[in-house]
């Protein structure tokens, strides 16, 4: 027997409608590329989004069309998210840090019909102007006067387009399975792959991400996604904030310590989200000037492992650190680290170790660990294996790829290696492509890197496997150092042996000037392998 409740599709547009009706005065604060800060209320955001939707319709955008953005976190980018989704089109976020060849590939692959860009990115846009020749229109995110600076022939001006349109629109009824946004993986190996999110997956992800044991959002929160809107939809915050009526603070391209500090202070940010490297630069800025952020309660860290020093520095400021693990294919949240009621009774050392794990499962995402033969592993906190996931916001297939992205029994193989303890805390030990196989056993490059990073002289650490006649692979440690510091193999080995088994200790050390970083700010191990192998 079926239930007799109303059936209403889960649509992204409902989040904006809710924010407009119940939180009309709540603010979206945006730092623009010229350093100025502008304020919009949710009621204005909704009105402008309808004008934008009418603009898109006037420009001929049809349901399913991909509309590209090359933009920082601002209210305009947010309007694009909601206007595209609202009319059944797909907001395709492009990462400006990608190489132009990769961007051109992605634009062609997605068959984008329009590209909206922030004006400070116009030199990059000029390089892409040949992409989809004759098939693409370009819109600069500014006024006509500002757009003139973009110096791109035939380029349209966002604000002029909007003001020419009515702010009235009846949103179409859409299928909740319809696509609403598209984000390509960074493609460290092979071409980037498109992950196509649906209205349903996005709304469910927003609901769960707002829960108290996840980002804990409410109308009292002031949330700043430092993580860009082109990096897995700023981890879903542009949706979860409107769902809960939280104030949204958008840092634009001001991602340096000084700009972030200023904005967080001015807007009384309570929760900020970003990758560890961002927080290191913010904390350095604060420490050098003996500053504090009194309103900041929590930082949400993901994308790369949280190290002990970062945790301790935030805790010393009275800020709670929440680590999360996820990936583009997971919209992105997979696990989140919030203490359990009895975590405090573990004792300080064990509690800290638990906080350094990536986190526990959240409703909506199932996890399993399997060994190389596909056999399930126990959750005993030591048996590391391939991490598989499945759930409401996990990719089942990549865009324009006929085959499924899943195993034959319906799981998505994340490419990560992890173990899970009996309390459900997952600890990532490696990427499967980075794990070092030495004498038939696995050495975790991630654990070695975290251990090396805890040395006072070390700025950044990366570990790669290099071929070895006897052991098949051995770890090579690559470091950048803090200014004025020196280190040699003997002293780093001495430090490491307090943290990892002795057979993991690297027999070779390379100190380099600068760590090569990929488009999402992570160490680009492929170029290290090419350089040192
Ligand atoms: P890309 O592979 O393009 O960098 P994502 O940005 O989707 O894609 O990154 C996902 C990967 O980032 C995960 O598979 C995992 O290896 C790593 N990652 C994410 N969160 C964490 C975390 N908290 N700790 C360690 N690694 C993480």
State pLDDT tens for residues 54-107: 999 999 999 999 999 999 999 999 999 999 999 999 999 999 999 899 999 999
Could you list the residue range(s) of the whole structural domain that residue 150 is in? 13-254
pLDDT for the residue numbered 187: 64
Nearest to 398 by CA among 327, 302, 333: 327
Inter-CA distances, 478 with 60, 130, 262, 337, 432, Å: 52, 39, 34, 29, 19
Q: Is residue 490 in some structural domain?
A: yes
Tokens describing residue 306: 């949280």
The CATH code of the domain that includes 480 is: 3.30.300.30
- Taking the mean position of all CA atoms in its chain, how far away is CA 327? 7
Q: Is the pLDDT of residue 153 over 90?
A: no
Q: Is the pLDDT of residue 188 over 70?
A: no
State pLDDT tens for residues 474-514: 999 999 999 899 999 999 999 999 999 999 999 999 999 99
- Say if residues 268 and 222 touch (Cβ distance below 8 Å): yes
| Distance from residue 147's CA to the centre of ligand 1 (Å) | 36
pLDDT for the residue numbered 252: 98
Q: Looking up tokens 């707002």, which residue turns up?
A: 210
Cis peptide before 286 (omega within 30 of 0): no
Q: Is residue 425 in some structural domain?
A: no
The CATH code of the domain that includes 109 is: 3.40.50.12780
- Say if residues 81 and 242 touch (Cβ distance below 8 Å): no
- What percent of the chain has pLDDT above 70? 99
State pLDDT tens for residues 25-59: 999 999 999 899 999 999 999 999 999 999 999 99
Q: Is residue 358 in some structural domain?
A: no
Average pLDDT over residues 103-128: 95
- Indicate the pLDDT class of residue 316, thresholds 50, 70 and 90: very high
State pLDDT tens for residues 276-294: 989 989 999 999 999 999 9
Pocket of ligand 1 (CB under 6 A): 185-186, 302-305, 323, 325-328, 332, 358, 414-416, 428, 431, 520, 522
Asked which of 202, 224, 254 is the last residue of a domain, the reply is 254
DSSP label of 517 = B
Q: Is residue 317 in some structural domain?
A: no
Cα dihedral 127, 128, 131, 136, rounded to 10, equals -130
Please, which residues bridge with residue 517 across strands?
A: 523
Best probe residue, ligand 1, of 185, 275, 327, 519 (max atoms within 8 Å of C-beta):
327
HSE of 244, CA atoms in CB hemisphere, 13 A: 25
Measured from the Cβ of residue 519, the count of other Cβ atoms closer than 10 Å reads 20
Q: Is residue 469 in some structural domain?
A: yes
Q: Is residue 280 in some structural domain?
A: no
| DSSP result, 38-93 | EEEEHHHHHHHHHHHHHHHHHTT--TT-EEEEE--BSHHHHHHHHHHHHTT-EEEE
Burial 22-42 (b: 16+ CB within 10 A, else e): ebeebbbbbbbbeeebeebbb
Burial 210-221 (b: 16+ CB within 10 A, else e): beebbbbbeeeb
Average pLDDT over residues 297-316: 95
Q: What is the mean pLDDT of the chain?
A: 95
Q: Is residue 360 in some structural domain?
A: no
Rounded Cα gap, residues 273 and 422, in angstroms: 28
Best probe residue, ligand 1, of 186, 277, 304, 450 (max atoms within 8 Å of C-beta):
304
Nearest-CA residue for ligand 1 atom 4 is: 186
395, burial (CB in 10 Å: exposed 0-12, middle 13-18, buried 19+)? buried
User: What are the phi and psi torsion angles at 237 (to 5°)?
Assistant: -65, -35
State pLDDT tens for residues 405-433: 999 999 999 999 999 999 999 999 999 88
- Indicate the pLDDT class of residue 315, thresholds 50, 70 and 90: very high
DSSP label of 130 = T
- What percent of the chain has pLDDT above 90? 88
Active site residue 442: yes
Q: Looking up tokens 């769902």, which residue turns up?
A: 243
Q: Is the pLDDT of residue 190 over 80?
A: no
pTM, to two decimals? 0.93
pLDDT for the residue numbered 148: 82
HSE of 355, CA atoms in CB hemisphere, 13 A: 22
Radius of gyration of the chain (CA): 23
Q: Looking up tokens 């573990």, which residue turns up?
A: 346
State pLDDT tens for residues 231-248: 999 999 999 999 999 999
Asked which of 254, 269, 294 is the last residue of a domain, the reply is 254
Rounded Cα gap, residues 260 and 523, in angstroms: 23
Measured from the Cβ of residue 281, the count of other Cβ atoms closer than 10 Å reads 16
Active site residue 8: no
DSSP label of 167 = S
Q: Looking up tokens 């160490």, which residue turns up?
A: 523
Tokens describing residue 35: 């350093």
Active site residue 504: no
- Indicate the pLDDT class of residue 161, thresholds 50, 70 and 90: very high
What is the end-to-end Cα distance of the chain in Å, rounded? 63
Asked which of 254, 275, 294 is the last residue of a domain, the reply is 254
Active site residue 379: no
Q: Is the pLDDT of residue 150 over 80?
A: no
User: What are the phi and psi torsion angles at 87 (to 5°)?
Assistant: -95, 10
Nearest-CA residue for ligand 1 atom 26 is: 304
Q: Is residue 308 in some structural domain?
A: no
Tokens describing residue 200: 């349903």
Domain count, the chain: 2
């Amino acid at each position: 027997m079926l239930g007799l409740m109303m059936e209403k599709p889960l649509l992204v547009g409902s989040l904006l409608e809710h924010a407009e009706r119940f939180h009309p005065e709540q603010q979206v604060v945006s730092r623009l590329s010229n350093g100025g800060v502008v304020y919009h209320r949710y009621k204005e955001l909704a009105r402008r989004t309808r004008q934008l939707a009418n603009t898109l319709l006037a420009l001929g955008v049809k349901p399913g069309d991909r509309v590209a953005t090359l933009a920082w976190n601002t209210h305009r980018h947010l309007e694009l998210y909601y206007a595209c989704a609202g009319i059944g089109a797909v907001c395709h976020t492009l990462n400006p840090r990608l190489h132009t060849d990769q961007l051109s590939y992605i634009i062609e692959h997605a068959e984008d019909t329009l590209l909206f860009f922030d004006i400070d990115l116009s030199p990059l846009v000029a390089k892409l102007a040949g992409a989809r020749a004759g098939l693409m229109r370009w819109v600069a995110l500014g006024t006509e006067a500002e757009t003139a600076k973009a110096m791109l022939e035939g380029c349209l001006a966002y604000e002029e387009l909007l003001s020419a349109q009515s702010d009235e629109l009846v949103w179409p009824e859409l299928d909740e399975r319809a696509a609403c946004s598209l984000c390509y993986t960074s493609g460290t190996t092979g071409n980037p792959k498109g992950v196509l999110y649906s209205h349903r997956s996005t709304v469910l992800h927003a609901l769960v991400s707002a829960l108290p044991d996840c980002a804990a959002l409410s109308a009292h929160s002031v949330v700043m996604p430092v993580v860009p809107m082109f990096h897995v939809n700023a981890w879903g915050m542009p949706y979860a904030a409107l769902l809960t009526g939280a104030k949204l603070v958008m840092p634009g391209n001001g991602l340096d310590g000084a700009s972030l500090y200023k904005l967080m202070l001015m807007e009384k940010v309570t929760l900020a989200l970003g990758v560890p490297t961002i927080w290191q630069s913010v904390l350095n800025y604060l420490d050098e000037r003996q500053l504090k952020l009194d309103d900041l309660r929590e930082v949400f860290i993901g994308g790369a492992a949280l190290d002990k020093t970062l945790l301790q520095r935030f805790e010393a400021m009275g800020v709670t650190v929440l680590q999360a693990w996820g990936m583009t294919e997971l919209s992105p949240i997979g696990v989140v680290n919030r203490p359990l009621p009895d975590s405090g009774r573990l004792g300080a050392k064990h509690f800290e170790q638990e906080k350094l794990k990536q986190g526990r499962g959240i409703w909506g995402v199932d996890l399993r660990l399997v060994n190389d033969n596909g056999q399930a592993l126990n959750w005993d906190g030591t048996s590391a294996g391939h991490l598989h996931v499945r759930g409401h916001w996990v990719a089942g297939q990549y865009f324009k790829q006929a085959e499924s992205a899943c195993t034959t029994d319906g799981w998505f193989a994340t490419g990560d290696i992890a173990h899970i303890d009996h309390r459900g805390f997952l600890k990532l030990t490696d990427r499967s492509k980075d794990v070092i196989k030495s004498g038939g056993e696995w050495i975790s490059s991630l654990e070695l890197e975290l251990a090396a990073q805890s040395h006072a002289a070390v700025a950044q650490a990366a570990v790669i496997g290099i071929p070895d006649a006897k052991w098949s692979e051995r770890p090579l440690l690559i470091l950048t150092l803090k200014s004025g510091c020196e280190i040699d193999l003997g002293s780093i080995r001495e430090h490491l042996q307090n943290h990892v088994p002795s057979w993991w200790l690297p027999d070779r050390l390379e100190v380099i000037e600068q760590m090569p970083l990929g488009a999402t700010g992570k160490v680009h191990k492929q170029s290290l392998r090419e350089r040192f192998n």
